[in-house]
Chain A
Amino acid sequence: MSSSAENPTLTAEITKPSTEIATETAQSAKKITLKTSDDQIFEVEESVAMEFATVKSFFEDAPSSTDTVPLPNVPAKPFSQVIEFCKEQIKFKANPDETEKKRSNSEFVKEKTNEDLVEMIPVANYLEIKDLLDVLNQAVADRIQNRSVEYVRSFFGIDNDFTSEEEALLREEHAWAFEDVDED
Chain B
Amino acid sequence: MKANSLIRKTKRKKLKAGKETDCAGKSISNLPEEVLEHIVSFLPIHEAIRTSILSKKWQNLWKSTPNLSFDGRDSPKRKLFMDFVERVLVLRGPSNIETFRLSCEAKDDQSRIGTWISAAVNRNVKDLYLVLSDIESSFVFPRCLFNCKTLTEFEIDMLFILKLPSSISLPCLKILSLRQVTFIDDQSTQQLFSLPNLVELEIYECNWKNLVWVTICAPKLQQLAIYESLESTPANSGGCHVRIFRTHLAHFSCCGTLSNEFCLDESSVVETFIFLNSDGDRRPRETACRSYKLLEGISSVKTLYLTTDVVDVLDHASDLLAFPLEFRNLTSLIFESDELNLHSAGFWHIIYNSPNLRSLYFSDVTFCTLQVSSFRCEVPFL
Q: Which residues of A contact B (CB under 8 A)?
A: 37-39, 54, 58, 61-62, 65, 67-70, 72-75, 77-78, 115, 118-119, 121-122, 125-126, 133-134, 137-138, 140-142, 144-146, 149, 152-153, 156-162, 167, 170-171, 174, 176-181
A133-B20 in contact (CB<8A): no
Listed A/B pairs (10) with beta-carbon separation below 8 Å: A54-B6, A61-B2, A67-B2, A115-B21, A122-B28, A126-B10, A160-B54, A177-B46, A179-B77, A181-B47
A174 to B43, CA, bound (A): 17
Report the minimum CB–CB distance from B230 to chain A (whole Å).
35
Which residue on chain B has the smallest CB distance to residue A169? B53
With a cutoff of 8 Å between Cβ atoms, the chain B residues found around residue A72 in the complex are 7, 10-11, 14-15
A90 to B114, CA, bound (A): 47
B83-A176 in contact (CB<8A): yes
Given A61-B2, A122-B28, A125-B32, verify A149-B14 contact (CB < 8 Å). Answer: no
B28-A178 in contact (CB<8A): no
Given A118-B28, A160-B55, A170-B53, verify A37-B47 contact (CB < 8 Å). Answer: no
**Chain B interface helix/strand/loop/mixed:** helix
With a cutoff of 8 Å between Cβ atoms, the chain A residues found around residue B24 in the complex are 75, 78, 115, 118-119, 122, 157
Extra contacts, 19 of them, besides A68-B3, A73-B13, A122-B28 (Cβ < 8 A), are: A39-B17, A70-B3, A70-B7, A77-B20, A118-B24, A119-B20, A119-B27, A121-B31, A121-B35, A122-B31, A125-B32, A134-B38, A144-B47, A146-B47, A152-B51, A158-B57, A170-B52, A174-B50, A179-B84
Q: Which residues of B contact A (CB under 8 A)?
A: 2-3, 5-7, 10-11, 13-15, 17-18, 20-21, 23-32, 35, 38-40, 42-44, 46-47, 49-59, 75, 77, 80, 83-84, 87
Report the minimum CB–CB distance from B219 to chain A (whole Å).
26
A158-B84 in contact (CB<8A): no
Report the minimum CB–CB distance from B50 to chain A (whole Å).
7
Of B15, B20, B25, B42, the contact of A137 (CB 8 Å cutoff): B42
Pick from A65, A161, A170 the residue with the most CB of B within 10 Å.
A161
Of A65, A75, A133, A161, the contact of B56 (CB 8 Å cutoff): A161
A159-B15 in contact (CB<8A): no
Which residue on chain A has the smallest CB distance to residue B76? A180
A125-B55 in contact (CB<8A): no
B50-A158 in contact (CB<8A): no
Which residue on chain B has the smallest CB distance to residue A70? B3
Of A38, A157, A170, the contact of B20 (CB 8 Å cutoff): A38
Count of A-B residue pairs with CB < 8 Å: 147
Q: What 7 A-B pairs are tightest by C-beta distance, nearest first? A: A157-B25, A141-B42, A177-B49, A119-B24, A62-B2, A122-B27, A38-B17
A137-B6 in contact (CB<8A): no
Given A58-B6, A159-B55, verify A133-B38 contact (CB < 8 Å). Answer: yes
With a cutoff of 8 Å between Cβ atoms, the chain A residues found around residue B87 in the complex are 176-177
With a cutoff of 8 Å between Cβ atoms, the chain A residues found around residue B23 in the complex are 75
A69-B30 in contact (CB<8A): no
Given A70-B7, A133-B35, A181-B50, verify A142-B42 contact (CB < 8 Å). Answer: yes
Of A65, A126, A145, the contact of B47 (CB 8 Å cutoff): A145
Which residue on chain A has the smallest CB distance to residue B27? A122
Report the minimum CB–CB distance from A128 to chain B (whole Å).
11
Of B25, B42, B44, B84, the contact of A176 (CB 8 Å cutoff): B84
